[in-house]
């Protein structure tokens, strides 16, 4: 089922690097750079699931990537129609560009759509960040990543734990332990961020906790959304909160925007660029989040922060086992009590990240090179 190693019309077939959302752009950037460094032909495709400047193009600029070769325009708004539309447009594109392999990263609808499109065109598929499991079937991401893992020929597992998950499920593809490219990206961009970001000039507090929240099972549930607002009101530390567009929309629908804007201890920002976010993480006392990528970045040696995971589960158990993360649930009392505990604890965090040493992209591209060139 491997693609031909032979060049087509004297030309090497390109690797298709797919992104759809903000975290995929960030985590694919090191892979794009490694492909370039190896002189391998590639085409960068953005599926357009995230489309606002500050959810997509801003990251392409921050990470100094060239403009995507293709940027799909997606009209659908429901999750199912969005998945189907991306799949149809990817199918058309695959017919046109004939790649050697399609690379997807993570667990979004774009990932599943591109994976299915590759599978139907019988193009080899590589899943970056394979093998994560939250065992929380309320999450669309848990379905997307499981399905993608089972139709991938190459599974790039970030940790040994992910390798074990994949082996336990008897996936068909080959599994490679690589580390997570999120750590590569922090290593490369934090020094740049510290030189160029001006974001701290906007932060009106000496000390703060950094908050993000966007998971559908959290912010689409008015009870959980209300619980988060209670945490904001009673927080023992001021909060800096770059707000995801999904959350902004849900607050607006519930008539709660004014309430958040009125909280003097909460500094709300639009979704920040990657460099600004790195600096916000670097300078905060504590991170409170339901993000996946942020749980990893908090363990990067140059950041090393405690993270309270405002969810019922995590697929990043490694961060919990290493002492960085604590899954605190979504009830305001649990979150507030965990904040007080974390702020008073004198915990020494490990010097190394459980998500790798920052060379995940090189390892991934070495496998691609070995298999397709
Ligand atoms: C998606 C992923 C999630 C990932 C997150 C990263 C799925 C099922 N979810 O969630 O796994 O953690 O991206 O941030 O794929 N919106 C805008 N502008 C944009 C993008 C979105 O306004 O550029 C708003 C729209 O109202 C949209 C809503 O956000 O309906 C949700 O966007 P969507 O991409 O469906 O899901 P995310 O919550 O962003
Ligand atoms: N991030 C950012 N600006 C923000 C919030 C997050 O640059 O305002 C970055 C963060 O550093 C991480 C990624 O976006 O790399 C996480 O994205 P998100 O939380 O949306 O998705 P998830 O990782 O949960 O899929």
Q: Is residue 145 part of a domain?
A: yes
Question: Is pLDDT of 78 > 80?
Answer: yes
Say if residues 320 and 326 touch (Cβ distance below 8 Å).
Answer: yes
Asked if residue 290 and residue 256 are part of one domain, the reply reads: yes
pLDDT at 10 over 80: no
Give, using CA atoms, the residue closest to atom 23 of ligand 2.
293
- Six token digits for residue 345: 């604890």
- On whether both 103 and 21 belong to a single domain, the answer is yes
User: pLDDT tens digits, residue range 253-299?
Assistant: 999 999 999 999 999 999 999 999 999 999 999 999 999 999 999 99
Q: In the structure encoding, which two tokens stand for residue 180, read together?
A: 């997570």
What is the residue-wise DSSP string for 139-175?
-HHHHHHHHHHHT-SEEEESSHHHHHHHHHTT-SSEE
Q: How confident is the model at residue 2 (pLDDT cuts 50, 70, 90)?
A: very low
Q: How far apart are CA 136 and CA 123, in angstroms?
A: 30
Mean pLDDT lowest among 102-106, 108-112, 178-182, 346-350: 346-350
Indicate whether 351 belongs to any domain.
Answer: no
CA distances from 87 to 48, 49, 66, 80, 94 (A): 12, 12, 24, 11, 10
- ∠ CA 315-319-323, nearest 5°, is 140
Decide whether any atom of ligand 1 lies within 6 Å of the 270 Cβ.
no
Digit-coded pLDDT (tens) for 333-344: 999 999 999 999
CA dihedral 81, 84, 88, 91 (to 10 degrees): 160
Structural domain for 276, as ranges: 189-344
Residues 314 and 219 in one domain: yes
- Position 11 pLDDT exceeds 80: no
Say yes or no: 272 and 128 in one domain: no
* Ligand 1 atom with the shortest distance to the CA of 140: 8
- Report yes or no on 195 lying in a domain: yes
pLDDT digits (tens, 9 = 90+) for 313-330: 999 999 999 999 999 999
pLDDT band at 187 (very low <50, low <70, confident <90, very high): very high
pLDDT computed for residue 346 by the predictor: 86
Nearest CA to ligand 2 atom 6: 277
Whether 295 is in the pocket of ligand 2, judged by its Cβ within 6 Å, is: no
Q: Are residues 223 and 83 in the same domain?
A: no
Question: Does the residue 4 lie in any domain?
Answer: no
For ligand 1, say whether the CB of 250 is within 6 Å of any of its atoms.
no
Mean pLDDT of the chain, nearest integer: 96
Mean pLDDT computed over 4-24 = 82
When mean pLDDT is compared across 5-14, 26-35, 91-100, 237-246, the lowest value belongs to 5-14
Residue 7 pLDDT class (50, 70, 90 cuts): low
Q: Which ligand is nearest to the CA of 217?
A: 1
245 and 145 inside one domain:
no
In a domain, 27, yes or no: yes
Provide φ and ψ at 120, rounded to 5°.
-70, -25
How close is the Cα of 9 to the center of ligand 1, in Å?
40
In this structure, which residue's CA is closest to atom 13 in ligand 2? 23
Is any ligand 2 atom within 6 A of the Cβ of residue 372?
no
Q: How confident is the model over 188-230, as pLDDT tens digits?
A: 999 999 999 999 999 999 999 999 999 999 999 999 999 999 9
Do 110 and 151 reside in the same domain of the chain? yes
Does residue 308 form part of some domain?
A: yes
Using the atom order of ligand 1, give the atom closest to the CA of residue 141.
Answer: 11
CA 62, CA 26: separation in Å to the nearest integer? Answer: 9
Q: What percent of the chain has pLDDT over 70?
A: 97
Identify the DSSP state of 324: S
* 99 is a domain residue: yes
Atom of ligand 1 nearest to the CA of 215: 38
User: Which ligand is in closest contact with the Cα of 21?
Assistant: 1
* Residue 151 shares a structural domain with residue 35: yes
The domain total for the chain is 2
Separation of 50 CA from ligand 1 center, angstroms?
A: 6
CATH number reported for the structural domain that contains residue 318 in this entry = 3.40.50.2000
Percentage of the residues of the chain whose pLDDT score is greater than 90:
95
- Is 329 a pocket residue for ligand 2 (Cβ < 6 Å)? no
Residue 315 and residue 202 share a domain: yes
Ligand 1 atom nearest to CA at 144: 8
- Give CA–CA dist 124/157, Å, rounded: 17
Question: Ligand 1: which atom is nearest the Cα of residue 54?
Answer: 23
Query: What is the C-alpha separation between 368 and 373, in angstroms, rounded?
Result: 8
For ligand 1, atom 31, name the residue with the nearest CA.
246
Which of 119, 120, 146, 121 shows the shortest CA–CA distance to 132? 146
Residues 31 and 168 in one domain: yes
Do the domain assignments include residue 201?
yes
Could you tell me if 176 and 154 are in contact, meaning their C-beta atoms sit under 8 angstroms apart? yes
| Nearest ligand to residue 56 Cα | 1
Is the CB of 52 within 6 Å of ligand 1?
yes
CB atoms within 10 A of CB 342: 22
**Within this chain, do residues 204 and 164 fall inside the same structural domain, yes or no?**
no
Give me 20's structure tokens: 């759809």
Ligand number, closest to the Cα atom of 314: 2
Is the minimum distance from the CB of 109 to ligand 1 under 6 angstroms? Answer: yes
Question: What band does 6 get if pLDDT is binned at 50, 70 and 90?
Answer: low
Name which residue sits closest to atom 39 of ligand 1, judged by CA. Answer: 246
The CB-based long-range contact list for 325-334 (8 Å cut-off, 24+ gap) reads 325/295, 325/298, 330/218, 330/224, 330/227, 330/228, 331/227, 332/227, 332/228, 332/230, 332/231, 332/234
**pLDDT at site 3:** 45
206 and 330 fall within a common domain: yes
**DSSP-assigned letter for residue 315:** S
Q: pLDDT band at residue 9, thresholds of 50, 70 and 90?
A: low
Q: Residue 350 C-alpha to ligand 1 middle, in angstroms?
A: 32
């Amino acid at each position: 089922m491997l693609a031909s190693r032979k060049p087509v019309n004297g030309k090497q077939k390109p690797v298709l690097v797919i992104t759809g959302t903000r975290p995929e752009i960030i985590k694919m950037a090191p892979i794009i750079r490694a492909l370039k460094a190896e002189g391998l032909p590639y085409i960068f495709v953005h599926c357009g699931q995230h489309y606002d400047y500050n959810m997509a193009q801003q990251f392409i600029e921050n990470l100094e990537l060239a403009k995507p070769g293709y940027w799909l325009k997606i009209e659908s708004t429901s999750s199912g129609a969005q998945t189907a539309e991306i799949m149809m447009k990817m199918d058309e594109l695959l017919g046109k560009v004939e790649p050697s392999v399609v690379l997807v990263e993570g667990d979004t609808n774009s990932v599943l759509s591109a994976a299915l499109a590759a599978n139907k065109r019988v193009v080899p598929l590589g899943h970056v960040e394979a093998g994560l499991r939250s065992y929380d079937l309320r999450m669309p991401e848990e379905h997307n990543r499981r399905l993608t893992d089972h139709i991938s020929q190459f599974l790039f597992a970030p940790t040994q734990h992910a390798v074990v998950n994949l082996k336990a499920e008897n996936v068909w593809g080959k599994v490679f332990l690589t580390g997570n490219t999120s750590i590569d990206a922090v290593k490369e961009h934090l020094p740049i961020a510290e030189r160029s970001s001006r974001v701290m000039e906007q932060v009106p507090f000496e000390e703060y906790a950094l908050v993000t929240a966007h998971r559908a099972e959290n912010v689409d549930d008015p009870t959980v959304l209300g619980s988060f607002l209670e945490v904001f009101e009673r927080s023992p530390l001021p909060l800096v909160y770059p707000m995801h567009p999904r959350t902004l929309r849900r607050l607006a629908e519930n008539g709660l925007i004014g309430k958040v804007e009125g909280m003097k201890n909460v500094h709300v920002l639009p979704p920040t660029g990657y460099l600004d976010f790195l600096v916000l993480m670097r300078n905060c006392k504590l991170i409170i989040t339901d993000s996946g990528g942020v749980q990893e970045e908090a363990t990067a040696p140059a950041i090393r922060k405690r993270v309270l995971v405002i969810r019922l589960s995590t697929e990043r158990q490694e961060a919990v086992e290493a002492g960085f993360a604590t899954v605190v649930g979504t009830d305001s009392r649990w979150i507030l009590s965990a904040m007080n505990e974390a702020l008073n604890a004198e915990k020494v965090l490990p010097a190394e990240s459980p998500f790798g040493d920052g060379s995940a992209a090189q390892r991934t591209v070495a496998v691609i090179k070995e298999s397709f060139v």
